[in-house]
Amino acid sequence: MAVLLLVGVVGLALLVAAAVLYRRDEDADLADLLGMAPHTFADDRDGGDEMRPLTVRAVEIAGQAVERMDRDRSLGSLLERAKVPLRPGEFVICVVGGSLAIAALLLAVTGSPPGAAAGAIMAVLVTARIVRRRVAKRTKAFATQLPDALSLVASSLSAGHTFLRAVQMMCEESAPPMSEEFGRLVAETRLGDNVTEALERMALRLQIRDLDMVVQAIRIQQTVGGRLADLFHTLSDVIRARDEVKREVQILTAEGRMSAYVLAGLVPFLFMMMRLINPGYIKPLYSGMGLVVLLSCAASVVIGLTVILRMVKIEI
């Protein structure tokens, strides 16, 4: 029975993944033609001709459930910031299918329903962590590239190019994610959008304070006038100065973060060592009040780690 369940779940997961990837290949081709990212227009396309009816219905149900539960569309925004070319419904279907496949595999191998449920929950948590880590990585890379990008745009403006042409030349010289995000800005303006509004949407999408400052400075410049090239040079210098302060703060707080990690890891390390050396010594912790003490110890470690990390986290 477990083997049949495994085969069915894995087959459904592969069906969904194949259908989604097939449609996304066509979206990628159209995106290359327009110079846009696939997820910038995927929500406006039906795409049902390429997908099986079962997959279409599953994605629709998942999308409706996500819309009801996620009024602020935070999942869609998170996927967009992570550059995951999936709609929220498709992402949920893939995650649920993968977690069920892992649960079925663990159930077939170990025969333990609690272990299978724990494996499914862990798969969901790991997926969410991977997406957030990808967002953090792209955000950090964009913030690092921003001063150099502003300097390139300012140099092109000083040479007599228009703003859009300067941004396009910067995209040709820059690496992702800078080239991807500003390339999307150029594509949106080619389709008739306003430059300032496209910049504001990009700042809202990426949620980077330095980019917010750039957008506000451009709006002020459009109101009061002035040389945009000089403004970009000034912003580039300010952002570089802030980055230097951030790096210095990271160096000064490194000892506190290392202390937090060492103190938090010392407790489980000693627990495992005592379990290997003298298992009978910690056997009372597995029953009665011992479980309360064990859980209280784990909670205190988590709380202490959180407090120390909050103390050494300084916003610049």
What average pLDDT does this structure show over 270-275? 88
What average pLDDT does this structure show over 31-46? 47
pLDDT at 247 over 80: yes
What average pLDDT does this structure show over 267-273? 88
**Taking the model in full, what pTM does it have?**
0.69
The more confidently predicted of residues 239 and 111 is 239
pLDDT tier, 29 (very low <50, low <70, confident <90, very high otherwise): very low
pLDDT in tens, 128-177: 889 999 999 999 899 889 999 999 999 988 888 888 888 888 988 888 88
Q: How confident is the model at residue 303, as a pLDDT?
A: 92
pLDDT tier, 258 (very low <50, low <70, confident <90, very high otherwise): very high
Specify the range with the lowest mean pLDDT, choosing from 5-9, 118-122, 240-244, 280-284: 5-9
DSSP 288: T
- Within 13 Å of residue 121, how many CA atoms lie on the same side as its CB? 6
pLDDT at 7 over 60: no
Q: How confident is the model at residue 84, as a pLDDT?
A: 83
Q: How confident is the model at residue 46, as a pLDDT?
A: 46
pLDDT tier, 22 (very low <50, low <70, confident <90, very high otherwise): very low
Dihedrals φ, ψ of 267, to 5°? -65, -55
81-102 core/surface letters (b: 16 or more CB in 10 A; e: else): bbbbbbbbbbbbbbbbbbbbbb
DSSP 39: G
What average pLDDT does this structure show over 222-234? 84
